[in-house]
A and B are shown apart, each in its own frame.
Chain A
Amino acid sequence: MKKRTEAVNKLAAENNQLRKQLTKANRDYYEDLLVYMRGKNLFRDDYQLEESLLGILQDLIDAQNDGTDAMTYFGHDLKQTATELLKTIPPRIGNFIWFNLKLAAMMMFILWLPRLTYPNVTFDAGSLLLASGIAIVSVWGALWYVGSHAFAKPSRLQLTAIILLGVILFGIMVSVLLFLKTSWQIRLSAHTSFTVIILGLIIAAILPFIHHLTELERPIYYFSLFILILGLLVYLRATRSFFRTKIDFGQWQWLFYVAVILLGIGIGLLIWWLGERRHRH
């Protein structure tokens, strides 16, 4: 499975590199095809998909070099051709299950990790699982939506509705984490938490030397590093008292939680905006 994932990632990386050879118009045309096929590829063999996409890209570059633009070469009815291409790619349910497992593990890791910054780590595995489930469904929904609208840019109203839905889902997920209490509580002793933090920091120190972090992995890496350092500061004698001081706003405590949620949304929107700006340039 790991070799296969590496092979798929390699094809995708080659695609990213090669795509730069296309003119803007040809790249826009090809990327509509790419987004549609990847977005609609929930249950199919991702290796065969990436192989097809790369083959088509190579041919579009050849056509471009011979003076034929992508639309003239490939055809005007891109959606029809893309749909037919997708039908030829065999299903691979194992892909789908494995992707969801990885996504669930990543979500639970990201959602659970901040708990290490508490002196007594008790986390609610039930609410964590539910929040991860909401995140996974949201990710698949977003992928499906993006794929379905690859050939038709959404209207301002649709875009606003999508952003609003994203914010609501994010709010529900955070609320589940903060306020839902299930009976599936897992407690880590201070000793175990500290050990996990130290191990995490050692891995974080070594990782950049043994693995080249992708664009997607980098924010997760820095976020994890931040949490681990914060967690360490909670345990170190010199900084312990500062970081263990309880933030208590009394009757305004709820406002503090709202501010934290809004801060999280603001950071998310900022990252999205920076990504959009970078993509445009």
Chain B
Amino acid sequence: MARDDNSQMLKGILQGCLLILLARKEQYGYAISESLNLFGFENVPKGTIYPLLMTMEKKGLLTSHMRPSPDGPSRKYYKITADGEKARQTFILQWHDLKSHVDQIIANQPEEA
């Protein structure tokens, strides 16, 4: 159960992070995973982003198109939509809110003996 809760929380956060990254630049799967690594997500299995990207595309937060690749078959690039942009802004606001509340709880936590 704990593992399920953690993975659900991670998915929610990852979705927001993907929206932020793809708002800056359209990218394909591996490039997105490299960007996540740059921001400290090295230990997150990158397999989780593929179903997430497809779900976000189904929800209309992202669109995709194929771009020719010099190394082989065309690659699928994702970019953010107008709905995705709204979701991104909502995520950032909610994150700031959540972070400040959790920081307050942590700040009031008694010291260990």
Contacts and interface: CB of A to CB of B under 8 A. Distances in A.
Q: Do A and B bind each other?
A: yes
The winner among B47, B51, B55, B73 for most chain A CB atoms within 10 A is B47
Determine the interface band of chain B, counting residues with CB < 8 A from chain A: 10 to 19
Nearest to A33: B47
A85 B55 CA distance: 9
Nearest to A90: B58
Contact of A88 (B28, B58, B73): B58
Interface of A: 11, 14, 18, 51-52, 54-56, 58-59, 62-63, 73-78, 81, 84-85, 87-90
A75 B46 contact: yes
B73 A58 contact: yes
B45 interface: yes
Query: What are the 10 tightest A-B residue pairs by CB atom distance, in nearest-first order?
Result: A75-B45, A88-B54, A59-B30, A74-B47, A84-B51, A81-B47, A75-B47, A62-B30, A59-B29, A85-B51
Given A56-B29, A88-B55, A14 B50 contact: no
Interface in B52-103: 54-55, 58, 69, 71-73, 75-76
Contacts of A59: 28-30, 33, 46
B8 interface: no
A73 B76 CA distance: 19
The winner among A55, A75, A84, A88 for most chain B CB atoms within 10 A is A55
Main secondary structure of the interface of A (DSSP, over half): helix
A55 B71 CA distance: 13
Given A73-B47, A77-B47, A81-B51, 20 more contacts: A14-B72, A52-B50, A52-B54, A58-B29, A58-B30, A58-B69, A58-B75, A59-B28, A59-B29, A62-B30, A63-B46, A73-B46, A74-B46, A75-B47, A78-B47, A81-B47, A84-B51, A85-B51, A87-B51, A88-B55
Nearest to B69: A58
Contacts of A14: 72-73
A55 B51 contact: no
Contacts of B75: 55, 58
A73 B72 contact: no
Interface in B27-52: 28-30, 33, 45-48, 50-51
A75 B50 CA distance: 12
